[in-house]
Amino acid sequence: MSRQKIQDAEFDDWLQLDEEDANWVAQQTAQGLPLILPWKRQAIRLGTCFQSQRLEDPWLKDNPFILSDFYMIPKVLHCDYGSASSFHSISTSRKTETSKHLALGFGVGVGLPFLCSASAKGTYDEELKENNDSDKSSIRASLRCGVVELERNPRLCHEALVMLKYGDGYKAFTEKYGDYFVWGYRLGGDTGLMISSSAFEKKKVEQYGIELTVEVLLVEVSHKWTKDFHTFSAGKKMRLLGYDTLSDTNWNVTMEASGDIEKLSKQAEEVILRSQSLLERSIMILEDEGMFNGEHLTHAQCELLTSRGIAVELILLPMSSLRDVARWTTERDITPKEGPGTKPHRALPKNLPERARGKQATATPTDRLRCGSSRSKFPDSPPYFTMSFGGQTPTIIVLKEGTDTSQGKGQIISNINACLAVQATLKSTLGPYGGDLLMVDENGRQTITNDGATVMKLLDIVHPAARILVDIARSQDAEVGDGTTSVVVLAGSILKEMKDHVEQGISSQIIIKGLRQASAKAVNKIKEIAINTSAADKRETLSKLAATAMTSKLIKRNTDFFTKMAVDAVLALDQEDLNEKLIGVKKIPGGSLTESLFINGVAFKKTFSYAGFEQQPKSFVNPKIVCLNVELELKAEKDNAEVRVEQVSEYQAIVDAEWQIIYKKLESIYKTGAKVVLSKLPIGDLATQFFADRDVFCAGRVTGEDMERVVQATGAVIQSTCSDILPEHLGTCGKFEERQIGGERFNFFEDCAEAKTCTLVLRGGAEQFIAEVERSLHDAIMIVKRAILNRNIVGGGGACEMELSYYLGRYANEIRSKQQAIIKSFAKALEVIPRQLCDNAGFDATDILNKLRVEHHNGNTWAGVDFQNEGVANMMDNFVWEPALVKINAIQAATEASCLILGVDETIRNEESAKPQAPGQLPPGAAQRALRGRGRGMPRR
């Protein structure tokens, strides 16, 4: 937004006060008490000025800040759960009795920011205000779960700065700009309930009771209404008014006064149940919108929060504190206006470093303005010491000019925030109901996938700390093949939990020690509870593990089909080596998924062929196969050559000799009895026609990967010469055939008796779809491979993580050192897996996690998320199995990545050396010479 547009903006319709309210505001501010104002808009703009002495409209258009600079300053969310309240009041036409049971709030003191309460949803206020029933009972629970504040103090404009710094300008300053400005605001939710009845005629007295319980911030408060009520005359009504800001829900139930009181009680309980999870629901709304503790928020995000029903409280900062701001806010061009009482401007010392000069106006420490701080005044020390060196002797660092250095707690938190941003991108792909991501690179190539390793590889991550998550995803993929998304999500959750400890000032080394201790305990617990399947049916166990790996993939609808394919592929390999690279995958667009083929041998696309290829036979039974690394082509047709002869007959002799050489090679190959000839190098038209005349199939330019798999399948040995080829050098297969698949022709080597390789031919619609099928099969193949090497399995569906969380929570209670809090936070971080599984499936995560905690407390080790019935089930009984090695590797990798990130408290980046060097100017003629062909050209004559 431009500066002019900001200055011309209309603020009149933001908050409107009538004369009575304005007088009350003036009285409150005179006493230094918090303000409670009516809220009329679902938007807040920081920096808005407030004049408590104005009766009609206290919100001023004039602003002491440089507005264009003000709105560029980041807004930061700090979750501190600083306020909760619950009260019960009974109102009649004659008196009102209020009993406040719980109140936790911010302190209000001289010079500190104070709160101006408001709500983003005001409809229920009007309904409650308009309720004129003679008998009313109400209960309300409210919570404020975070503070949105400026990261640093904005700069003052020239006119405001002069007013504050010179003469008696503060009075003129407050008259122009007001007493307070909006420095931040708090977020949270509210629930409320009112039961009321209209006037009645006394006929018969009945006694009844309604008991409701509110729990806020783990403090439980009960309200019990037991009253003598009268049977109402016909036509009289009883009403229930309720509201829940988080879900934007209002209840307005009217019933006959003589009706069933239990119905009213159930409606009331429904309202109160909302308040039980007020804290958790508020945090979930923030996280759903991608807003985490310590993150920068845009104005659009703030408006989005209010639209989600988040209640809002303004934090007003007294303008008096800006007098201290002015003492170290320095601008070189300040010249006070002429007039009585002005003092000469104090210039900056000439020996002040440029770094100190450049940063004074914007480097305000955030914690000195934070709500609840015990420091109400800014230091009186000179500006260049206050802002640049904190009152200490500056440290001299010998670094190249342009080097960017960041260090301390802020650097650790910045690294954690970068990792959380990566986690937020990836976590929506977790589980059987996770979504897919459409990735588009700089060349416009599209990739649709939910494979964690692929997403991390394609993300253009430049933050050095966040790139550590890329490395652990790759290592997880290389080591076990699956769990790449889980390891990144788990690492992000661990860092998120540890962030609070870092902000509280706990040493990162203590945190790292606690994390490694918790990780070791978790790994030992997995080994303890894992089930060994050595005695079980091998193929059935592998099929169940592969099916679990495919439930989160694009091919989950064809799980049975591809599960068999993955298991057959791994069992076809050498069981001592299990080299998955010998499983060839060929992708052919077109057809359906179920037209995909498993070849117990080798298949590769037909290579480039010369004239005469059409006459060669395309099918053999039990053929002999020779594999060559020899070029069968006339040299004169390929290379430039220079031959000096005296007579024409000598030239003919050279040509004849060349033909004799190639014919000798071809005859040697034919005499071996081979019916299929393959070569890594070209087979020319002469050789092609030679073999066609003798009913032999040949193919040149076979890739090294395909040739290696042919050798493994047929038992052949690659020959680098055409002489002395013995029978034991030849391979064989049950059937060779060239056939059409889709729009391509493929060569098939099937029924290989000594096959230690296989080929998967994948069919499908789009190329992106087939590529994702290949990635899904790769994960399943790697899981089967690891399951053969290690037969221990655990339950999936979040069961293993919940058991570890329960175990570590109990273990932490036995520790008396500082690591207790770290291990408890680690245990809580493990719950991110079942929680994210529920969120991605659209389930009520809070309800299901509560059930899981109860199940694991009762000893049900394998209780996990049941996706079929939206509940809890035994994962072992439902055959949701995973190799124990996947969980062990994921926990170890996530822990080590977290320790690595937490251990880095300084980053040094040399921007100058990071820039690519501009190439020097080429000498004249160099470009032309560079564009000539490779190697030496023919000499000039």
User: Crossing angle, helix 799-812 and helix 845-857, to 10 degrees?
Assistant: 60
Reported residue count of the chain is: 941
Residues 776 and 861 in one domain: no
Q: Which range, 286-290, 400-404, 514-518, is most confident?
A: 514-518
Q: Is the pLDDT of residue 535 over 90?
A: no
* Mean pLDDT confidence for 414-433: 88
- pLDDT of res. 414: 85
Q: 113-122, 475-484, 797-806: lowest mean pLDDT where? A: 113-122
Task: Give the residue, 298 or 792, on which the prediction is more confident.
Answer: 792
Q: Give the pLDDT mean for 43-64.
A: 71
Asked whether residue 834 carries a pLDDT value surpassing 90, the answer given is yes
Which amino acid is it at 286? Answer: L
856 occurs within a structural domain: yes
Chain centroid to CA 655 = 69
Q: Kindly report the CA angle at 44 between 416 and 318, in degrees rounded to 5?
A: 90
Instruction: Using pLDDT thresholds of 50, 70 and 90, give the confidence band for residue 212.
Output: low
- Residue 671 pLDDT exceeds 70: yes
Are residues 238 and 206 in contact, defined by beta-carbon separation less than 8 angstroms?
no
Q: Quick one: 474 and 436 in the same domain?
A: yes
Give per-residue pLDDT as tens, 426-437: 888 888 888 888
Strand partners, 86: 102, 141
Q: Which residue has the higher pLDDT, 71 or 689?
A: 689
820 versus 334: the higher-pLDDT residue is 820
Kindly report, residue by residue over 769-784, the tens digit of the pLDDT: 888 888 888 888 888 8
**Is 940 inside a domain boundary?**
no
d(CA 440, CA 446): 5
Mean pLDDT highest for which of 159-168, 617-626, 902-911?
617-626
Whole-number Å distance between alpha carbons of 503 and 584: 51
Q: Compute the mean pLDDT over every residue in the chain, rounded to the nearest whole number.
A: 72
Q: From its phi and psi, is residue 294 left (phi > 0), alpha (psi between -120 and 50) or beta?
A: left
| pLDDT of 378 strictly over 50 | no
Distance, in Å, from the CA atom of 813 to the CA atom of 825, rounded to the nearest integer, reads 12
Query: 515 and 580: one domain?
Result: no
Element of type H or E holding 6 = helix 3-7
* pLDDT band with cut points at 50, 70 and 90 for residue 205: very low
Q: Which residue has the higher pLDDT, 788 or 367?
A: 788
Structure tokens at 286: 């923030």
pLDDT confidence of residue 120: 41
Whether pLDDT at 919 is above 50: no
Helices H, strands E: what count in the chain? Answer: 30, 35
Among the three residues 256, 290, 314, which one is the final residue of a domain in this structure? 314
pLDDT score recorded for residue 863: 92
Residue 352's pLDDT band (cuts 50, 70, 90)? very low
| Residue 647 belongs to a domain | no
CATH (domain of 554):
3.30.260.10
How do residues 109-135 score in pLDDT, each as one tens digit? 333 444 544 444 434 444 555 566 666
Residue span of the structural domain in which 160 resides: 3-314
Residue among 207, 281, 278, 271 nearest 242 (CA): 271
Q: Does 891 map to a domain?
A: yes
pLDDT digits (tens, 9 = 90+) for 480-513: 878 888 999 999 999 999 988 888 888 888 999 9
Among the ranges given (263-272, 686-695, 856-865), the one the predictor scored with the smallest mean pLDDT: 263-272
Range with the lowest mean pLDDT among 409-413, 603-607, 632-636, 697-701? 632-636
Whether 341 is covered by a domain: the verdict is: no
Range with the poorest average pLDDT among 378-387, 433-442, 454-463: 378-387
Specify the higher pLDDT residue, 926 or 857: 857
Q: What is the reported pLDDT for 520?
A: 93
> What is the rounded end-to-end Cα distance, in angstroms, of the chain?
71
What number is the average pLDDT over the span 33-44?
44
**Which strand (E) or helix (H) includes residue 90?**
strand 83-92
The whole-number pLDDT of residue 170 equals 72
Q: Residue 891: pLDDT above 90?
A: yes
Cα distances (Å, whole numbers) of residue 323 to 156, 328, 372, 830: 11, 10, 20, 49
What angle is formed at CA 416 by the lines to CA 412 and CA 420, rounded to 5 degrees? 170
In a domain, 506, yes or no: yes
pLDDT for the residue numbered 557: 82
Instruction: Check whether residue 95 and residue 233 sit in a common domain.
Output: yes
Output the six-digit token pair for 740.
Answer: 């059409």
Tell me the C-alpha distance between 854 and 863, whole Å: 10
Report yes or no on 872 lying in a domain: yes
Q: Which of 780, 616, 592 is nearest to 697 (CA)?
A: 616
Interval 282-301: pLDDT, tens: 878 877 777 777 777 776 77
Whether the per-residue pLDDT at 620 is higher than 70: the answer is yes
The residue among 638 and 9 whose pLDDT is bigger is 638
The Cα–Cα gap between 781 and 563 comes to 9
Inter-CA distances, 873 with 209, 559, 794, 919, Å: 39, 21, 14, 64
State which of 314, 336, 355 marks the end of a domain. 314
CA 329 and chain centroid, separation: 39
- Number of domains, the chain: 4
| Residue 908 β-bridge partners | 405
Q: Are strands 35-36 and 135-150 parallel, antiparallel or unpaired?
A: unpaired
More confident residue, 138 or 235: 138
**Res 316 pLDDT > 90:** no
Are both 486 and 560 inside the same structural domain? Answer: no
Residues 581 and 665 in one domain: no
Same domain, 53 and 202: yes
Residue 837's pLDDT band, with cuts at 50, 70 and 90, is: very high
In the predicted model, is pLDDT for residue 860 greater than 60?
A: yes
Inform me whether the pLDDT recorded for 661 exceeds 70: yes
Please state at what angle helix 799-812 crosses helix 819-830, rounded to 10 degrees: 160
pLDDT at position 131: 61
Between 702 and 88, name the one with better pLDDT.
702
Average pLDDT estimate for 637-657: 72
**What are the strands of the beta sheet with 735-741, ordered from one edge?**
602-605, 744-750, 735-741, 619-621
Considering the domain architecture, whether residues 805 and 698 belong to the same structural domain is answered as no
Distance (Å, whole) CA 274 – CA 189: 10
Position 107 pLDDT exceeds 70: no
Shared-domain flag, residues 630 and 579? no
Give the model's confidence band at 909: pLDDT under 50 very low, under 70 low, under 90 confident, else very high.
low
* Statement to judge: residues 32 and 178 lie in one domain: yes
Of 314, 334, 366, the residue that ends a domain is 314
Copy the structure tokens of residue 463.
């933050």
Paired strand residues for 602:
749
Highest mean pLDDT among 194-198, 231-235, 827-831: 827-831
Strands 744-750 and 75-78: unpaired
- How far is Cα 469 from Cα 216, in angstroms, rounded to an integer? 36
DSSP run (H or E) holding 871: strand 871-874
**How confident is the model over 96-102, as a mean pLDDT?**
55
Model pLDDT, residue 281: 80
Higher-confidence position of 648 and 484 = 484
pLDDT tops 50 at residue 200: no
Q: Is 834 in contact with 848 (CB distance < 8 Å)?
A: yes
- When pLDDT is cut at 50, 70 and 90, the band that residue 686 belongs to is confident
100 confidence band (pLDDT: 50, 70, 90): low
- The upper half-sphere exposure of residue 408, i.e. CA atoms within 13 Å in the direction of its Cβ, equals 5
Is residue 360, in this structure, part of any structural domain at all? no
224 shares its domain with 123: yes
Placement of tokens 């994390």 in the chain: 515
- We report the CATH number of the domain holding residue 616 as 3.50.7.10
Structure confidence at residue 335 (pLDDT): 40
Does the pLDDT at position 5 exceed 60?
no
Element (H, E) at 315: strand 311-318
Of residues 119 and 390, more confidently modeled: 119
Residue 880 has what pLDDT?
Answer: 87
Token pair of 359 as six digits: 């940063």
- Check residues 140 and 449 and name the one with the higher pLDDT: 449
Would the pLDDT of 98 be above 70?
no
pLDDT of residue 386: 23
The phi and psi torsions of 156 (rounded to 5 degrees) equal: -85, 145
Closest CA to 551 of 893, 879, 888: 879
Write the CATH number for 897: 1.10.560.10
Give the residue with greater pLDDT, 248 vs 373: 248
Residue 895 has pLDDT above 90, yes or no: yes
* Domain identity same for 152 and 229: yes
Mean pLDDT of 556-572: 86
